[in-house]
Structure 1
Amino acid sequence: MSPAPTPSTGATPSTGATPSAGATPTTGAGTSTGTGASTGTGASTGTGASTGTGASTGTGTSTGAGTSTGTGTSTGSTPAGESRTALLVVAHPRTDSLTAELARQAQVRLESSGFTVDVLDLYREDFDPRLGPEDEPDWADRDKTYSAEVHAHMRRVEAAEVMVMVFPLWWFGPPAILKGWIDRVWNHGFAYGRSRPRLAGKRMFWLTAVSYTEADFTSLGWDRTVTHVLRTGISEYCGIADAAVHFLHDSLNADESAVKSAAGALEEFLA
């Protein structure tokens, strides 16, 4: 039997995603990290929705097209003649995963919408998610100079009009490498801590693959919990009002139609 969800207790108040009061509970009933497209929580919830390792990467049938929740409205188009940049952040260790395919489809949709796409594959770029003293927030100095690596990533965030995060949901939260990227890069004085948020006016789309069926995920309330953490706790907290979260459910059985549906949800968000 999988363990019952328990709050995460390992986070420190040095993250850019939430105030310095502590960590958000990214909990779950198990993880899927096996040879297949390890795109979900891989959990048995007590309701009989057991997943496990190994995944279908294009076979089987999808039980749902996924759901999106979002708030805010577009802040306007980029003036004519100016380049539109989208930052596509990918967090999965394998290039043949469902997450990687979702990212490829997202890139196609972004480019067809007129964006120049900056692909940030955290694993391929060997990003270190560990936050050291050089990147720890100084609550008395919002203009602290962080590490060169962090400032380089901050410039990529600043350059983007739209940001798209593509990742599997592990333990009901982002993978450690993506959480660490937010901890280090979305830092005090940059992503939050100013009266006028520096990221205000940007748009953000969270695309995550979940092993649960939509019915199980929704009945357990995880759709509301995860959406609240990502959209309210990170995007809106950092001044990004136009943000949406889309879940691709039953990821271990996801087929081509499910991938296309997720890409369609992004296209609808961009419209």
Structure 2
Amino acid sequence: MSVLVRPTGVPGREVRGTNAVWRVLVAESDVDDANSLVRGLRRHSHEVEHVTTGREALRAYEAADLMLLDLELPDLDGLEVCRDIRRVSNIPIIAVTGRGSELDRVLGLQAGADDYLVKPYGFRELMARMEAVMRRTTRQPSSTAESISRGPLSIDAGAREVSLEGRRIDVTRKEFDLLFLLASHPDTVIPRKQLMQRVWGDSWSRRTVDTHVSSLRNKLGCSGWIITVRGVGFRFGQV
């Protein structure tokens, strides 16, 4: 495999043009490429998890905001991994591969990739493509409110930040959207299917919702913030 162009010493905000910090899943089988990429992303303040196989990618993608997917994985074809994820999730995916023909690009985009990058590539180009993909795919909460305060919990829609008793809580993009939606309707039970449609689009997966609810409860330190209404969905609680 071609080795990535290593990042320069340019400060993060000059390359990224934003203060956003993302959780990036790197599914890359080539160790040298992966190490270079992980170092560069972490240098720009992103949180990075690296996996080397398709099966690991399928287990880990739900915790990420963005995925960089090598199409030449040792166990599963990267296109099939992309299709499997796209059936249940709208997570932004950038396909990264040495396959550079027009047909390869078409197949990658048809499989559900949001962008397609051919090795070798420059790190600045990768960052620019990540920025573009996140701008296109990030859904802002459908509310005119800039912030919501519920007791010690504060949800800032403009900054997309959550804080509890003044302490910032690190949440993923989808976790924020889910929490904001519930908190925007504190006295309403929101059906599971509606949550999926509003936060994840038309995808449907009971496991996706439950995983994100469980993660939010753990991060908020109490299950009382999100109440399960058996057989219906969830509502926002106040601790």
TM-score range relative to shorter protein: 0.3 to 0.5
Structure showing greater radius of gyration is: 2
| TM-score (normalizing by structure 1) | 0.33
Question: Taking CA–CA contacts closer than 8 Å with sequence separation of 6 or more, which of the two structures ends up with the larger relative contact order?
Answer: 1
Q: What TM-score results when the alignment is normalised by the length of structure 2?
A: 0.37
Judging by fraction of residues, say which structure has more helix: 2
